[in-house]
Chain A
Amino acid sequence: MVLQSSLKNCLQLSCILRTPKAGFRSTTSGGLIIQSVSHDIYQNLAVEDWIHDHMNLENRQVLFLWRNSPAVVIGRHQNPWQECNLRLLRQKNIKLARRRSGGGTVYHDLGNINLTFFTNRKKYERMENLKLVVRALKALSPQLDVHVTDRYDILLDKQYKISGTAAKLGRTTAYHHCTLLCNADKFVLSSVLKSPYKGLKSNATPSVPASVKNLFEEDPTLTCEMLLDAIAEEYATRHQIDHHVTLINPADEAVLPGINNKTKELQTWEWVYGKTPKFSVSTCFNMVYKESVLDAKVHLDVKHGRVEVCNIDLPDQWLPPALCSELVKSLTGSKFCPSETTTLATALLRVCPQDEELHSRWSLLCENMITLM
């Protein structure tokens, strides 16, 4: 069972983590199980980065257990506009994070557990890790019909996805992480993972949608704690180590020097949105204005999350062309994001003729532009 973090445990961990060259003279050679005390997605992703960059995994492997408060996590090369409903995320205050591993988009909440298997490059084996998870599940609940597919998913009852996988390989280390749905909010999951944005053209890695089910639905006795415990037990058996879970605080600079910088980097706009591969948006919207419907055609090229090219086609003379071209000029180079667009559009309104008709048309156009973001 998970032990309360004691000073001794933390010191032991810091010894293990900070003396890579010295080799591992700790008692737990071969494997280490750690669990995060934080539910912050950025902090936990930073721990993964830290272990990947700083730990010597030549002779040992690490299992990292973590859970997060509501967040959507996209893969390294994905497009958040394509993958999820950003408007809904903002409204519901659900965080958006981009991880460093590949793969598709997932929704995390406290009813979902995350497992990261750290090894050196040569010992990278996803299938083995997933089989370990399945063994743990069957040990807990023998009647569960769970198996691993060749796409590295775990399916329940041969049709419902309960786990998705992604991996990151570096020069000498590698990690494979996966989710496991215990008791997550399926309603929120399906609504946030549905993108409302039309007209997107991109080479970003697309997600493959799947029907999901919670393990809790099959076996109501299961809880996240039980799952974490069973998996740790199975891992300990496999690596012939003690079933001892060390708690780790992702905000502790002393144990993980440099971790706060990693956490900050993962939260920057440049990382979350700016790393989106180049994409374009081509769409038209119907604007209802004073009992008539008008068509507007918009095309945007977005690179590094910023508008590279912007074209807006409006009905002739509906808005002064000079003002439109000012808008296009302002948007070019700015972030493809609602707050910047709103700020620019409203600033432009200050310097144009103060005409109510003009203002309401302008606001209508801007509101529509913002729905694209």
Chain B
Amino acid sequence: VCFHRVRSCSSIRFIKSKYVCVFDKSALKFSHQQRLFRTSAVSCGQIVQFKLSDIGEGITEVTVKEWYIKEGDSVSQFDSICEVQSDKASVTITSRYDGIIRKLHYNLDEIAFVGKPLVDIEIDASKGVAPEEDVVETPPMSHEEHTHQEIKGHKTLATPAVRRLAMENNIKLSEVVGTGKDNRILKEDILNYLAKQTGAILPPSPKAEIIPPLPKSETMPVALKDKARKIPVPVSRPIVFSGKDKTEPITGFQKAMVKTMSAALKIPHFGYCDEIDLTQLVQLREELKPVAQIRGVNLSFMPFFIKAASLGLLQYPILNASLDESCQNVTYKASHNIGVAMDTEQGLIVPNVKNVQVCSVFEIASELNRLQSLGSAGQLGTNDLTGGTFTLSNIGTIGGTYTKPVILPPEVAIGALGKIQVLPRFNEKGEVFKAHIMNVSWSADHRIIDGATMARFSNLWKSYLENPASMLLDLK
């Protein structure tokens, strides 16, 4: 606001016009230039040098370690300005004034001196300069508490948020009637003051607040409608939402996902889904869980799904293959390194269990435990995260039934498992029984995998899981 006023000043002051020619516009922003253009009719900001106050213990110099503000930022009294350090003590320096930061006197890691200027703050001249000693302060409070501010020797009570709102709208607190306790100025008082001035309700900034529209006439009972017609129609106020978009660069785990999934786009996916009856497997796992526990391993369903997949891959090795860049050659991988998608705090990672084809279900379970604990600690190594040939994703632990998983290159197939639900099904005798049903959704690379292959593999995998005893026959 002050900047605009300066421009209008400069056109009036012909004597000073040579300065306007010499200095470019950016120079006008800096403190000392504005003094030249001040007219009596206009109150531009006055620059105050905020000096570094006494730290105590006879300390005369400190190192500036962090700035919380930069030149051009507006600050309120008690806002943090910077962090300085002296001899094992870290000190937060807070602002004594409301205003706009015009100059930082030190760079990071420079030595600052007690009693010398730290920052220049441009304050509203009408408010006057606070005395050099610390302003009478009340002890630190939570944001709900109130702080005092001395304006022209007359105490005005208002919270920092209210004072900021007033400052941003160029309102002098002394002109606002406070309706709170002890004549405290509330946010509503500022809004009312503004409404009187501009005839509209302004949104409080920067918090988002939706002001609901007035109720429509349909909601009023019929009897009142007649009365309503006689009452003047209220002005419909616009719904105002002042939330702001936030843009930030993509890094880390998301970047990795962008790379992987963009490459996956090149693969023509087809999907194949089915329903698996896990009733028998559920029972089997219940029996085996304590056995595994004694050996120190947590047994979930995944080791069974993984082992069954490997048995299936032995019959349909093309699902454990890789197509080269030029789509000229297919490489059939000897090892079944089955990846397991994991959701961690930081994002998606897919470690794999190596050589499932020679592992027992217990060994797979044990390895999964190891990968899971490393994964949640963010300590998985490159070896665990590379070399995968086929992937399973157990999204069902979070929820869902059918899904459309994306193949992770350089693999050619992936399976996603939904949640296990208890549903009614018919048995061979035509009776209804309680079945534990899980849905599986496969995606495969249609350049080298055809639907029939996927279907047959899925059927084989399904038969192993629906009748776990049959796995025994083919277990290697």
Contact = CB atoms under 8 A, between A and B. Distances in A.
A104 B88 contact: yes
Interface residues of B, number: 55
Contacts of A54: 140-142
A335 B252 contact: yes
A370 B385 CA distance: 14
Interface stretch (B179-187, B271-279, B376-384, B465-473): B376-384
Given A205-B85, A258-B142, A350-B409, 15 more contacts: A55-B139, A102-B87, A120-B139, A125-B57, A152-B88, A169-B56, A306-B251, A330-B256, A335-B251, A339-B379, A345-B382, A347-B259, A359-B386, A359-B387, A370-B382
B8 interface: no
Given A77-B85, A169-B92, A354-B331, A277 B108 contact: yes
Q: Give the 10 A-B CB pairs with smallest separation, nearest first.
A: A347-B256, A339-B378, A103-B88, A102-B90, A167-B89, A346-B385, A56-B139, A169-B91, A351-B263, A340-B252
Contacts of A61: none
Contacts, number: 170
Interface in A156-213: 165-174, 203, 205
B249 interface: yes
Given A347-B257, A350-B408, A53 B382 contact: no
A354 B322 contact: yes
A58 B91 CA distance: 18
28 contacts: A76-B83, A77-B66, A90-B377, A103-B88, A120-B139, A124-B56, A124-B57, A125-B57, A168-B89, A168-B91, A169-B91, A173-B140, A205-B85, A333-B255, A334-B252, A339-B378, A340-B252, A340-B253, A340-B346, A344-B255, A344-B259, A347-B255, A347-B259, A348-B259, A351-B263, A351-B409, A353-B325, A370-B382
- Which of A103, A171, A338, A349 neighbours the largest number of chain B CB atoms within 10 Å of its CB? A171
A126 interface: yes
Nearest to B93: A171
Contact of B410 (A76, A167, A354): A354
B50 interface: no
Contacts of A173: 139-140
A330 B259 contact: yes
Contacts of A77: 65-66, 83, 85, 90
- Which of A58, A333, A339 neighbours the largest number of chain B CB atoms within 10 Å of its CB? A339
A75 B90 contact: yes
A200 B224 CA distance: 78
B287 interface: no
A126 B253 CA distance: 45
B78 interface: yes
Given A172-B137, A334-B251, A340-B253, A349 B90 contact: no
A77 B251 CA distance: 25
Given A121-B56, A330-B259, A349 B251 contact: no
A338 B260 contact: no
Given A53-B140, A102-B85, A168-B89, A338 B378 contact: yes
B378 A367 contact: no
Contacts of B85: 76-77, 102, 205
Contacts of A172: 137, 139-140
A52 B91 CA distance: 12
A63 interface: no
Interface string B43-87: 000000000000111000000011000000000001000010111
A342 B251 contact: no
Contacts of B263: 350-351
B218 interface: no
A166 B85 CA distance: 11
Given A169-B56, A205-B85, A347-B259, A21 B145 contact: yes
Interface in A313-372: 330, 333-335, 337-340, 342-351, 353-354, 359, 363, 366-367, 370
A303 B90 CA distance: 21
Nearest to B259: A347
A57 B138 CA distance: 11
Given A339-B346, A340-B253, A102 B88 contact: yes
A168 B90 contact: yes
Interface string B124-152: 00000000000001111110010000000
Contacts of B137: 171-172
Contacts of B65: 76-77, 277
A366 B380 CA distance: 13
B324 A354 contact: yes
Contacts of B10: none
Nearest to B144: A257
A100 interface: yes
B140 A170 contact: yes
Contacts of B249: 333
B31 interface: no
Nearest to A104: B88
B335 interface: no
A338 B408 CA distance: 22
Contacts of B209: none
A57 B382 contact: no
B109 interface: yes
Interface residues of A, number: 68
A9 interface: no
Interface in A280-294: none
A277 to B, nearest CB: 7
A325 to B, nearest CB: 14
B92 A90 contact: no
A166 B88 contact: yes
B341 interface: no
A29 interface: no
Nearest to A52: B140
Contacts of A122: 56
Contacts of A346: 256, 382, 385-386
Contact of B138 (A21, A55, A100): A21
B349 interface: yes
B88 A165 contact: yes
A189 B417 CA distance: 46
B325 to A, nearest CB: 6
Given A343-B385, A349-B386, A169 B410 contact: no
Interface string A28-61: 0000000000000000000000001111111000
A54 B261 CA distance: 48
Contact of B90 (A53, A101, A339, A347): A101
Contacts of A348: 259
A20 B144 CA distance: 13
A366 to B, nearest CB: 5
Interface in B311-333: 322, 324-325, 331
A126 B89 CA distance: 10
A306 B251 CA distance: 10
B83 A343 contact: no
Interface string A208-246: 000000000000000000000000000000000000000
B366 interface: no
A53 B90 CA distance: 15
- Which of A126, A306, A342, A366 neighbours the largest number of chain B CB atoms within 10 Å of its CB? A342
A152 B145 CA distance: 37
A343 B88 contact: no
Nearest to A103: B88
B299 to A, nearest CB: 24
B393 to A, nearest CB: 16
A366 B140 contact: no
